[in-house]
Amino acid sequence: MSRAVPALTIERLSVWLVESPIAMTRLQGVGHVKDTVKRVLVRLDAGGLTGWGEAAPWEVFTGTAEAAFAALDRYLRPAVIGQPANHVRALLRRLDKVMVGHAEAKFAIETACLDLLGQASGLSIAELLGGRVRDEIPLSFSIADPDFAADLERMHAMVPAGNRLFKVKTGVLGHVEDLRRLGAIRAAFGDTVDLRIDYNQALTPFEAMRILRDVDAFRPTFIEQPVPRPHLDTMAALAAAFDTPLLADESCFDATDLMRVVAMRAADAISVKLMKCGGMLAGQALMGIADTAGLAGYAGTLYEGGIALAAGTQFVAAMPGISLGCEFYMPHHVLLEDVLEARIPHRAGMVVVPQTPGLGIRVSDASVRNNTRVLAEAAG
């Protein structure tokens, strides 16, 4: 006997602009983060169920949280209310027609719809995307604290706990300091750690080749985005010159960017961020191209909280080509507060993929209100 999924007409959209304190300053080539981070939470009500989503733009990278709030509250709301949440692709096409860009806001709506559909069908989002290919995802932690001694101390606690992947943010404090930090990490941990290097666009094409020769001596697993986003020709020259894989992050937002990266052989791997490409279905299309071209995937993030990372976790669980791990550490190591009733567990350096329906997390209006500073909210 077949069981129909109940009608999932979206009756109500609630949106919150929230701000959370962070545990430490983060220095990154593209911009610094200090004291607090802002993000936008979305709740869709349909058929007696509630689905959650999150938009976490970063102003130096993709846009502002305030713009995402306005996009959801003013522009996307009328296109969403009354629509069936289970027609996710049709709804996304509709959103693209009413508003250009705003990938993060559209991703938040997509997440909430897939959460609803998962709950209605009894399936996790990973199952809706084709099923899990992994139950755990290797976790990478970024070394980006201006207080490097504090980061080394963190590593001394994290490595014995099973963490092996560390990404050093370089290009901010100068080349000599970068070499000192990389040397100190290799001296303390040898080859027990899998070291990655991320410049966040900090180098100029003029200097990049010589600087990367020096850092390459520390045997990184990959070097991420050494030069600014438009310099694909320099990325291609670097990718050709080094055996160490080159990873495109800022140079690869979406499938259109990736087509260009592939055509120019401008990278060996890509950082997939659902905030950049605009959702899990768009991310699936991106990985289709990457898989076909033989590029490896890494699951990057912006300053995302537990809801967005739950979506990322479900997505990566279903994407075989994302073989380089994820950086879904924010709620465990950086955010002092988050909105989930319980965080997604980390075990021995791995993110454990929830297997319950939808996003596999529990959120409530109370857990939002009690765990963040609400700057603005709207519902209707």
Catalytic residue IDs: 169, 327
The footprint of Mg ion on this chain (CB under 5 A) covers a number of residues equal to: 2
Determine the distance from the C-alpha atom of residue 185 to the mean position of all C-alpha atoms in its chain, rounded to a whole number.
Answer: 25
Name which of 278 and 300 has its Cβ closer to Mg ion.
300
Q: How far apart are CB 229 and Mg ion at their closest, in Å? A: 11
Q: Restricting to residues 321-380, which ones interact with Mg ion according to CB under 5 A? A: none
Distance, CA of 63 to CA of 101 (rounded, Å): 10
Phi-psi region of 225 (alpha: psi -120 to 50; beta: other; left: phi over 0): left
Name which of 45 and 198 has its Cβ closer to Mg ion.
198
Name which of 75 and 242 has its Cβ closer to Mg ion.
242
Q: How far apart are CB 202 and Mg ion at their closest, in Å? A: 11
Q: How far apart are CB 290 and Mg ion at their closest, in Å? A: 16
Selected range binding Mg ion among 113-121, 170-178, 196-204, 206-214, rule: CB under 5 A: 196-204
Name which of 86 and 142 has its Cβ closer to Mg ion.
142
Q: How far apart are CB 354 and Mg ion at their closest, in Å? A: 26
Report the largest interatomic distance among the alpha carbons of the chain, rounded to a whole angstrom: 68
Selected range binding Mg ion among 66-74, 95-103, 153-161, 198-206, rule: CB under 5 A: 198-206
Is 304 a binder of Mg ion (CB under 5 A)? no
Q: Which two tokens stand for residue 326?
A: 């994820």
- The residue whose two tokens read 């949440």 is 85
Distance, CA of 121 to CA of 314 (rounded, Å): 16
Name which of 300 and 357 has its Cβ closer to Mg ion.
300
User: 9 CB contacts (<8 Å, ≥6 apart)?
Assistant: 46, 47, 82, 83, 84, 85
* Ordered DSSP codes for 32-50: -B-SEEEEEEEEEEETTEE
Q: How far apart are CB 250 and Mg ion at their closest, in Å? A: 7
Name which of 61 and 107 has its Cβ closer to Mg ion.
61
Distance, CA of 85 to CA of 94 (rounded, Å): 12
Is 45 a binder of Mg ion (CB under 5 A)? no
DSSP state of 363: B
Question: Which residue of this chain has its Cβ atom nearest to Mg ion in the complex?
Answer: 249
Q: Restricting to residues 234-263, which ones interact with Mg ion according to CB under 5 A? A: 249
The string over 327-360, giving b where at least 16 C-beta atoms fall within 10 Å of a residue's C-beta and e elsewhere, is: bbbbbbebbeebbbeeebebeebbbebbeebbbb
Q: How far apart are CB 275 and Mg ion at their closest, in Å? A: 12
Is 198 a binder of Mg ion (CB under 5 A)? yes
Selected range binding Mg ion among 136-144, 192-200, 203-211, 346-354, rule: CB under 5 A: 192-200
Is 115 a binder of Mg ion (CB under 5 A)? no
Nearest Cα neighbor of 361 from 34, 43, 73 is 43
Residue type, 120: A
Residues found near Mg ion in the complex (CB under 5 A): 198, 249
